[in-house]
Structure 1
Amino acid sequence: MPENTTPENTTPELRVNEREGQYEIYVGDTLAGYATYVDRGAARVLPHTVVFDAFQGQGLSKALIAFALDDVAAAGRTVVPQCSAVAHFIEKNPEYADLVDTGGAS
């Protein structure tokens, strides 16, 4: 199993992969994690978030979730946080609470 430490000069890169329906975070050229999404009307459902074991403990999930929520906001959508990590992130960062869909799009 390869050891991973994010080099200090490597800033994680965040991308939207529309073809796969996911937000992605890369360290160098390596996919470090992703958050899947499904669009339901004006709501974007976030059912699952993964950061691979080799990249745990580096704050990548927080960066990935913030990126996803910022993208949802920029698109004028609401979010359905089915993933517990996303729901927890929103609880800890109430500036994103207004994005939560209350219309039952889940």
Structure 2
Amino acid sequence: MSRELADNSGAPVTVGIEHADPVSAYVVRLADGSAVGRADFVDPPDGPDERIFFHTEVDPEFGGRGLAGLLVRAALEDSIRDGLDVVPVCPLFARHLDRHGDEFVADGGRFRSPTRADIVLVGRITRGRP
């Protein structure tokens, strides 16, 4: 599912999810279709209904346009809709939930602090280990 949005300059962008195994991502694209940012996540195998966000980046030449915020908000909206608990290993997600966590929870979202096991899982998955 893609969302048609506008960045801080008013330029049209889309944010969509790209599922892959083992790492999926929310991707922000310009009107011409070029990908300029992503928020990577893993869904723990055989675990609870959680989504671990571990890395977000936007191409530096597109910084200041609010694209990272669009990625975070789209991901959190989907997490509410899909009934997933958010685990913010990524500092950007953690900072957003630190500032806006009460609003997220009031909207039906759930999140918890990452544990060492979450960080180990992300490391194993991103290195291709079982």
Whether TM-score is above 0.5 comes out as: yes
SS at match of 2:73: helix
Mark the runs of 5 or more structure 1 residues left unpaired by the alignment: 1-5
TM-score scaled to structure 2, two decimals?
0.68
Pick from 21, 28, 34 the counterpart of residue 30 of structure 1: 34
Is residue 51 of structure 2 the alignment partner of residue 44 of structure 1?
A: yes
Contact 2:28 2:67 in 1 (8 A): yes
Deviations 1:75-106 (A, max 9, x none): 10101100001100111212125521369572
- Provide the alpha-carbon RMSD of the alignment: 2.1
Report which structure shows greater RCO (CA 8 Å, sep ≥6). 1
TM-score by length of 1: 0.82
1:101 lines up with 2:112 in the alignment: yes
Aligned partners of 1:53, 1:71: CA distance in 2, in Å?
Answer: 26
Please give the secondary structure, in 1, of the residue aligned with 2:42: strand
Mapped pair 1:56 → 2:63: yes
CA contact (8 A) 2:89 2:114 kept: no
Secondary structure of the corresponding residue to residue 12 of structure 1: strand
Change (3 A) 1:10 1:99: same
Partner of 1:3: none
More helix by share: 2
Identity within the alignment, %? 26
Instruction: Give the length in aligned residue pairs.
Output: 100
Structure 2: state its 5+ residue gaps: 1-6, 119-130
